[in-house]
Structure 1
Amino acid sequence: MSNKLYTLDAEVRANLGTGASRRLRHADKVPAILYGAGKEAVALTLEHSKVLKAQEDEGFYAHILTLNIGGESVEAILKDVQRHPYKPKITHLDFQRVDPSHKLHTKVPVHFINEDKATKGGNVIAHHVTEIEIVCLPKNLPEFVEIDMAKVAVGQTVHLSDVKLPAGVVSVELAKGADHDQAVVTLNAPKGGASEEAAAE
């Protein structure tokens, strides 16, 4: 996990309900909820402009975040984001508290590297998933999972079982059994390419 820290200031909000949330959004605020770790849920308010800027970084969705709430620092992960249907506006956030001794159930993005090398000659990459659901302790949470497309053969499909996860990180789907070994990415030959012609013969 990267040492880059994501920190947001938050305030506890007492006024709840649809009307109160609407007023907050008009005031450039984002209503949010913080729950988990065996503690009561807390309704929060964050600055929309700061959240909007922070979420531009992919790591915002996978990192452990720090929420400064009334002078107290709380570690949490982002569990859900609600957005306006057509405006660049975030309407609600869900945060889950992080307990160092309890495993997290979350998703991490997949980074496909060397795609330019894999697509030489007209090969086509088919992405089946862009994130992987995992379980791990907070200290083992990766920022992303990497797949080197230069090592993928034409016609090959990379499955979850082929993806090397960091130590202490488990795939939720694979834990369900071999029949849940999802396809992650496939490198296809160009349409009408050599491999297809050979198969036709």
Structure 2
Amino acid sequence: MEILIKASKRDSKGTGASRRLRRAGTVPGVVYGGEKEAVSVQFDHKELFLQFRHEAFHASILTLELEGKKESVLLRDYQLHPVRNTIQHIDFQRVSATEKIHVKVPLHFINAEVAPGVKLGGGIVAHILTEADVSCLAKDLPEFIEVDLSALEAGHSIHLSQIKLPKGVEFVQLAHDNDAAVASIAIPRGAKAAAADDAEAAE
């Protein structure tokens, strides 16, 4: 699914100019990277925010239309207003079809309800990571990565090396020998105490 964002060039720069743009319902931004120079741009806040609130906007290759020309970009940085939750500024990076990119991709956890640690052990799933850094070509970038918890036992964790990745995608942390834990199943204290009581009663 193509996510299209429309921009126009921004001539006025500086804090005062940006403040005036925001008051007029416009978001100042920058597009940079590749072999072209950085360009100051602006977006309609309402149109941009409709796209921005979707998860895919933050971890997908986006199509930026500027002066009738389209190019592939990635969201790289943004600032939100602390109270109004409006976008104050936004940065996009141009994407090359032949160079690998590093992007944080959301993790979607599935089958927690059938995990032995939950179903049989009464455990609670703890999400240690909710996103992970991946390296891949733009065409291979997944919108999200599924983490299957169906075999996870109580007191155990699932690590990056145990997650099945799409072809052409790799975890950046694994490339640096960091096999981080992604999720675990903890046994609640009450359940531990009950199990200990049952063991004593059996004796």
TM-score, with length taken from structure 1:
0.90
- Name the SS of the counterpart of 2:150 in structure 1: helix
Corresponding residue to 2:99 among 88, 99, 102: 102
Q: Which amino acid aligns with 1:163?
A: I
2:39 matched residue in structure 1: 42
> Matches of 2:194 and 2:106 in 1, distance apart?
32
> Matches of 1:116 and 1:52 in 2, distance apart?
34
> Matches of 1:195 and 1:99 in 2, distance apart?
56
| CA shift for structure 1 position 161 | 1.2
1:136 matched residue in structure 2: 136
Give unpaired runs (5+ residues) of structure 2: none
Equivalent pair of 1:67/1:74 in contact (CA under 8 Å):
yes
Give unpaired runs (5+ residues) of structure 1: none
**Residue 181 in structure 1 maps to residue 179 in structure 2:** yes
| CA shift for structure 1 position 197 | 4.1
**Residue 126 in structure 1 maps to residue 123 in structure 2:** no
- Name the SS of the counterpart of 2:42 in structure 1: strand
> Matches of 1:41 and 1:153 in 2, distance apart?
50
Corresponding residue to 1:62 among 59, 62, 67: 59
Map Cα deviations across residues 46-75 of structure 1 (whole Å, 9 max, x no partner).
010011111221101111111110000011
Consecutive aligned runs of 4 or more in structure 1 exceeding 6 Å deviation: none
> Matches of 1:89 and 1:41 in 2, distance apart?
24
Equivalent pair of 1:189/1:195 in contact (CA under 8 Å):
no
| CA shift for structure 1 position 16 | 0.9
Q: Which amino acid aligns with 2:19?
A: R
Root mean square deviation, CA, Å: 1.9
**Residue 156 in structure 1 maps to residue 153 in structure 2:** no
Deviates more, 1:93-102 or 1:148-157: 148-157
| CA shift for structure 1 position 116 | 3.4
Q: Which amino acid aligns with 2:149?
A: M
1:31 matched residue in structure 2: 28
Q: Which amino acid aligns with 2:114?
A: K
| CA shift for structure 1 position 143 | 0.5
Q: Which protein is bigger by CA-based radius of gyration? A: 2
Matches within 5 A, 1:3-42: 4-42=1-39
Q: Which amino acid aligns with 2:41?
A: L
Equivalent pair of 1:124/1:189 in contact (CA under 8 Å):
yes
